[in-house]
């Protein structure tokens, strides 16, 4: 059995003739916060969607806990514990906060659902106060909290969040990142973030640099020069 929680080996994904990922190798250890950084069009979203099963690779292999999942459906991967929070379409705006979170916990038993919802509310206390509010009437930052809450309520082994900072103020981003680190420390959940904000380096354990569909570097976050990464890949 592999010591890696998630492995991508020589992963190639194409849109027609355009290769969005080119022989990508990607390794994740259980309990890590992993950041995938890179400019727009680098392939960050494609990588997360391929891990989640939304995109199918032309070639290469994906393994979860040492077992091949390349041919597994998105639902099968979801049941294994792989949960993706996409940039858009990540909640049900015409439903209440409560109903959104309960849908996240759809596969869990009632007692576990209550435990998971309490975990969400401990992370985002304002959601408890807004539990009956329609999710679509909330601010952008609050909606992102609901979306992440759905992911937490799903009790995932790996929580993937695509472009967490998109459209959010830097202070909101820093707060949510800190909360994610606290949840990781409390539960042991593995988190993968695709991101353009420099603040992700404050919480990440491991960083992958992705450009034009290729991994340019992989390094422990504490060993990276933030100024270099900011100038090459990220926004302030």
Task: For residues 162 and 142, give the distance between their C-alpha atoms in angstroms, rounded to a whole number.
Answer: 16
Region of 159 (left: φ > 0; alpha: ψ -120 to 50; beta: rest) is beta
Number of domains in the chain: 2
* Residue span of the structural domain in which 109 resides: 90-155
155, 177, 201: which is the final residue of a domain? 155
Q: Which residues pair with 26 in a beta bridge?
A: 8
Q: Which residues pair with 158 in a beta bridge?
A: 82, 190
Task: For residues 54 and 76, give the distance between their C-alpha atoms in angstroms, rounded to a whole number.
Answer: 12
**Residue 208: Cβ-neighbour burial (10 angstroms; 0-12, 13-18, 19+):** buried
Co-location of 10 and 110 in the same domain: no
Co-location of 172 and 117 in the same domain: no
H or E element, residue 176: helix 170-187
Mapped onto helix, strand or coil, the DSSP state of residue 18 is: strand
Co-location of 70 and 42 in the same domain: yes
Co-location of 23 and 133 in the same domain: no
CATH of the domain at 8: 3.40.50.300
Q: Are 210 and 199 in contact (CB under 8 A)?
A: no
Q: Model confidence over 7-55: pLDDT tens digits?
A: 999 999 999 999 999 999 999 999 999 999 988 889 999 999 999 999 9
The predicted model scores a pTM of 0.92
Q: Model confidence over 99-155: pLDDT tens digits?
A: 999 999 988 888 889 999 999 999 999 999 999 999 999 998 899 999 999 999 999
Co-location of 225 and 112 in the same domain: no
């Amino acid at each position: 059995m592999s010591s890696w929680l998630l492995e991508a080996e020589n992963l190639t994904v194409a849109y027609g003739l355009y290769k969005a990922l080119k022989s990508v190798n990607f390794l994740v250890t259980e309990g890590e916060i992993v950041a995938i950084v890179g400019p727009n069009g680098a392939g960050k979203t494609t990588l997360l969607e391929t891990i989640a099963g939304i995109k199918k690779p032309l070639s290469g292999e994906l393994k979860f806990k040492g077992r091949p999942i390349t041919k597994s459906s998105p639902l099968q991967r979801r049941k294994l514990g792989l949960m993706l929070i996409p940039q858009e379409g990540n909640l049900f705006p015409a439903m209440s906060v409560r109903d959104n979170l309960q849908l996240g916990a759809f596969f869990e038993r009632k007692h576990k659902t209550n435990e998971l919802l309490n975990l969400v509310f401990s992370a985002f206390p304002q959601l408890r106060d807004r539990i009956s509010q329609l999710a679509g009437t909330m601010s952008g930052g609050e909606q992102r909290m609901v979306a992440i809450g759905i992911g937490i309520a799903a009790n995932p082994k790996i929580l993937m969040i695509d472009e967490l900072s998109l459209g959010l103020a830097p202070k909101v981003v820093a707060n949510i990142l800190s909360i994610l680190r606290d949840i990781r420390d409390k539960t042991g959940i593995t988190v993968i973030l695709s991101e353009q904000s420099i603040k992700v380096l404050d919480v990440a354990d491991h960083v992958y640099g992705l450009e034009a569909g290729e991994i340019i570097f992989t390094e422990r976050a504490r060993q990276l020069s933030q100024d270099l990464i900011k100038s090459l890949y990220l926004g302030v």
